[in-house]
Chains A and B, each alone.
Chain A
Amino acid sequence: MADRQTIRDAAPVTPENPAAFPRLMRLVQGRLVAGVAQGAAAQLRLDPVVLRLAFVLLTVLDGIGAVAYAALWMFTPREPYEGKEPSRDWSQFAAYVAIGLALMSLGWLTGASSGGIGAWPIAVGGIGSLILWQQADPDRRRRWMDTTVGQVRQNRVRTFAGLVLVVVGAIGFLAANADLSQASSGIVFTLVVVGGVGLIAAPWLAGLWKELQRERRERIRQEERAEVAAHVHDSVLHTLTLIQRNAQDSREVMRLARSQERELRNWLYQPQQDADASVAAAVRRVAAEEEDTHGVPIEVVCVGDGPLTPELSAMMQAARQAMVNAAKYSGSEVISVYAEAEPDEVTIFVRDRGVGFDMGEVADDRMGIRQSIIGRMERHGGSARVRTAPGEGTEVMLTMKLEKA
């Protein structure tokens, strides 16, 4: 709503110094049709009645008045006007129309204006196209968005008037140039009418379509915003409260901050993945869980991805055990996990820079490495390699060949 308001406010451009070079404007207050005559009168410092009569007279004589009026309507900006537009003085309008009709019938009776009749269709068509043009005016369209009932009605009146004028103009054109009766009139006339209706309706429909699209985008944006707000509330705010409560326990604070960071990152940057179906997502989940349990940051880098098969699930268990060992015994500040999923092979590296150990001194019955990592990988057709030395950190390399589908 806010930006809509700004657009409205920004639309009318007022000259910086109106007194120096007054610009021709269509006045809203006291207009009869579009305020052209009034505006011109103000410019020329004349009574608007003089100009209105001049327009009527010129229109009756050869139609040029109507054309001039239409042209001025098109090219003159509307005076900026705040608030609801005042309605027109229809009685005065009727009076001018009556004067025009009277002059016209006089001309007809006397035969003086026979030449002028030919220009009529042009004038009427001109007004019709003016109305079309008005329909497509972007400022107008913006204003229509504030659909008050009055404007809707006004809009309908205008559309109807445009339709009538286009049809009349078309008939007049046919009547003046070719013989309407000789043309296979029915078809042509219908085509003209349909074309006129199409012309009138097209900008309106296009505007409506655009408006619908815009609203749809706006709605999606708002829904997204609401989702973000809900997420921040449920997770981040909640964690911040927990952190304040546990302020004296630095380990817990660290763990909370870290797990919240990871969760937010995943939400922001990671594609939504099913941890039960994809290798990369499964590795991330395992790492996240162990990081939460042991409070040691685990940095995960995944390259490629693939479906999670039963063998690869076993591999995840082995990787989990490797992470647990690193977190529990290595004393490393951070654990690096690198998973690469290629079409025919999946490799996972779990590395720490901790104390390391001597493989030879690990007893055969130690379940952690021999059974949970090496044994498990071999049972499922993969392999595991442990590289370590005292003081050099440890790296566990897991490889699983995939059967080609």
Chain B
Amino acid sequence: MSTVKVLIVDDHRLFRSGVRAELGESIEVLGEAEDVDSAVKAIAELQPDVVLLDVHMPGGGGQEVLRRVLGSGSTVRFLALSVSDAAEDVIGVIRGGARGYVTKTISGRELTDAIRRVADGDAVFSPRLAGFVLDAFASSEAPPIDPELDSLTQREREVLRLIARGYAYKEIAKELFISVKTVETHVSSVLRKLQLSNRHELSRWATARRLV
């Protein structure tokens, strides 16, 4: 197993050192950054495989880092890591281009897994993110504009439901009699829909959830 090179972006020093200590041996931490500007600079200089990205940071937050780095054509992969449970934040960074979202309560082992998964080009959904996606795609009264992008397939729904129920990918594969690779394909496909669907309800739903 090759080591995955990681950059930690978070404005809390204590949290950065905590994550560093918790990560497994197969993860190499190249460096840390504490705000948007230093993150953009460090990503360009260090060329990490995966960036662990905090959502709330001075200078525009994780979304600003995504916008600037991905906007410049970089192919670095982002895993959002946040204490926030707000739908607006979760949906926001995913639509900004992050390939996964996990909360900071995640264990070191699970985080290591998630980083490896993102490094391999797969998507990482926490139960809560899966719940948000199900909710967001379900709450559509208007007919989808692009049927391919604007709705989930039955299988994708099943996978998401199992994630929301706390199942790991391996358990989902066993439950649905499919391979782990297929589970990964379904999740990546949901991620793509989440990022590309221009259904305005998605953003509106996230905002409305915050405002109610």
Contacts and interface: CB of A to CB of B under 8 A. Distances in A.
Contact of B135 (A297, A304, A349): A304
Contacts of B161: 338, 340
Contacts of B85: 265, 268-269
Nearest to B133: A303
Nearest to B160: A303
B130 interface: yes
Interface in A250-268: 265, 268
B86 interface: yes
A338 B131 CA distance: 8
Contact of B134 (A299, A303, A351): A303
Contacts of A291: none
Contacts of A304: 135, 138-139
B131 A299 contact: no
Interface string B118-139: 0000000001101100110011
B134 A269 contact: no
B212 A271 contact: yes
A257 to B, nearest CB: 11
Listed residue (B84, B161, B164, B166) with the most chain A CB atoms within 10 angstroms of its CB: B166
Nearest to A349: B165
Interface size class of B (residues with CB under 8 A): 20 to 34
A272 B210 CA distance: 10
A338 B127 contact: yes
B164 A301 contact: yes
Interface residues of A, number: 19
B209 A336 contact: no
Given A269-B85, A271-B212, A301-B130, A395 B165 contact: yes
A302 interface: yes
B165 A303 contact: no
A326 B75 CA distance: 43
Given A351-B166, A395-B165, A301 B128 contact: yes
A265 B152 CA distance: 29
Interface in B67-113: 84-87, 105
Interface in B11-60: none
Interface string B200-212: 0000000001101
Nearest to B208: A271
Contacts of A338: 127, 131, 161, 164-166
Contacts of A269: 84-87, 210
Contacts of B86: 268-269
Interface in A294-338: 297, 299, 301-304, 334, 336, 338
Given A269-B210, A302-B131, A304-B135, 11 more contacts: A269-B86, A272-B212, A299-B128, A301-B130, A303-B135, A303-B164, A304-B139, A334-B166, A338-B161, A351-B166, A351-B167
Interface of A: 265, 268-269, 271-272, 297, 299, 301-304, 334, 336, 338, 340, 349, 351, 353, 395
Closest 9 CB pairs of A and B: A336-B166, A301-B131, A271-B212, A338-B165, A269-B86, A269-B85, A303-B134, A349-B165, A301-B164
